[in-house]
C-alpha cells in the first residue's frame, strides 16, 4: 500500500497498519513494533487480498485482545505510557497518540481511515460471535433434543398405530365371538323349544299307546259281541221302527 512506501509515517497511520497486521497474523502479538517490521508486513504481495478475504473466525483471542486494548479501546494509563515514550524519543512536540478512530486515522492518511473501520468491524464481529456462540450451542443442543424427541414421537406414533390395529382386530374378533355366542344361545333356545315339543309329543304318544293297547286288549270281546249286537240292531230296526224311544229301550231290555 502507499503507507508502506513512507520512510516515517504519521503515528496514527503506523498504529493502524500495526493493528491490521496483527489481526491478519502478519505480525505476532508482542509489546511493540518497529516501522520496518510493520512496513515489511504491509508490503507482502497478498496483504490487500488477505484484508479483503479475511474471515473474522480466523482471528485468535490474543490478537483480538491486543488490538482492542492497544489500538481501538486503550486505557488512559496505556496511552499515557505510549505518549511518554513517544516524547522521550521525538521530543515534547511529538504528536499525541489517541485511540484509533476513523477521523484521527483518516487525517494521518486517506488509506488508514477505512482500515480502522475494517479493524473495528472485525473485532465487533468476533465479539458478537463469541457472545452468540453459547446461544448457538444451546440452539444446536435444543435442535438435537428436538430431533430426538421427534424420533421418539414418531416411534410412539408407529407403536400406537400398531396397537390401534391390534385393538381393531381384537374388537372384530370379539364381535365375531359375541355373534357366535348369540347364535349358540338362539340355537339352544330353539333346541329347547323343539325338545319341549318332542317331550310333549312323546307324552301324548305314550297316552295314545295306552289307549291303543286298551282298545287292542278289548278287541276280542268286542269282536265276539258284534253278531249279537248286529241281531239287536236288526231287531231294533225291524220291530222298533214305529215305536218311541222309550218303547224301543224297553224292547231291547226284554230281548236281552
Can you give the pLDDT at residue 53?
A: 94
In the predicted model, is pLDDT for residue 226 greater than 70? yes
- Quick check: 38 and 17 in contact, CB under 8 A? yes
- Quick check: 65 and 78 in contact, CB under 8 A? no
pTM of the model: 0.53
Residue 256: pLDDT band (50, 70, 90) is low
Mean pLDDT of 57-80: 94
Return d(Cα 84, Cα 44) in angstroms, integer: 32
Give the residue carrying C-alpha cell 349358540.
Answer: 184
In the predicted model, is pLDDT for residue 158 greater than 50? yes
pLDDT in tens, 91-124: 988 889 999 999 988 988 888 999 999 999 999 9
Residue 135 burial (CB count, 10 A)? 9
Burial class (CB in 10 A: 0-12, 13-18, 19+), 63: buried
| Between residues 28 and 181, the one the model is more confident about | 28
Give the up-direction half-sphere exposure of residue 100: CA atoms within 13 A in the CB hemisphere.
29
Amino acid at each position: 500500500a502507499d503507507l508502506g512506501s513512507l520512510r516515517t509515517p504519521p503515528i496514527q497511520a503506523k498504529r493502524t497498519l500495526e493493528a491490521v497486521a496483527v489481526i491478519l497474523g502478519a505480525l505476532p502479538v508482542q509489546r511493540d513494533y518497529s516501522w520496518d517490521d510493520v512496513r515489511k508486513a504491509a508490503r507482502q504481495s497478498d496483504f490487500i487480498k488477505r484484508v479483503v478475504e479475511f474471515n473474522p473466525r480466523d482471528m485468535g483471542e490474543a490478537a483480538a485482545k491486543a488490538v482492542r486494548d492497544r489500538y481501538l479501546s486503550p486505557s488512559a494509563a496505556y496511552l499515557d505510557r505510549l505518549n511518554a515514550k513517544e516524547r522521550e524519543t521525538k521530543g515534547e512536540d511529538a504528536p499525541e497518540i489517541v485511540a484509533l478512530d476513523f477521523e484521527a486515522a483518516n487525517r494521518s492518511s486517506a488509506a488508514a481511515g477505512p482500515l480502522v473501520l475494517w479493524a473495528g468491524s472485525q473485532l465487533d464481529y468476533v465479539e458478537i460471535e463469541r457472545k452468540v456462540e453459547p446461544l448457538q450451542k444451546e440452539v444446536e443442543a435444543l435442535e438435537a433434543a428436538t430431533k430426538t424427541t421427534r424420533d421418539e414421537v414418531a416411534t410412539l406414533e408407529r407403536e400406537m398405530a400398531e396397537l390401534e390395529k391390534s385393538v381393531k382386530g381384537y374388537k372384530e374378533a370379539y364381535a365375531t365371538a359375541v355373534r357366535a355366542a348369540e347364535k349358540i344361545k338362539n340355537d339352544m333356545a330353539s333346541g329347547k323349544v323343539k325338545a319341549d315339543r318332542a317331550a310333549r309329543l312323546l307324552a301324548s304318544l305314550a297316552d295314545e299307546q295306552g289307549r291303543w293297547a286298551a282298545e287292542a286288549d278289548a278287541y276280542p270281546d268286542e269282536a265276539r259281541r258284534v253278531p249279537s249286537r248286529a241281531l239287536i240292531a236288526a231287531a231294533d230296526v225291524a220291530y222298533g221302527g214305529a215305536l218311541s224311544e222309550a218303547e224301543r229301550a224297553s224292547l231291547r231290555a226284554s230281548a236281552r
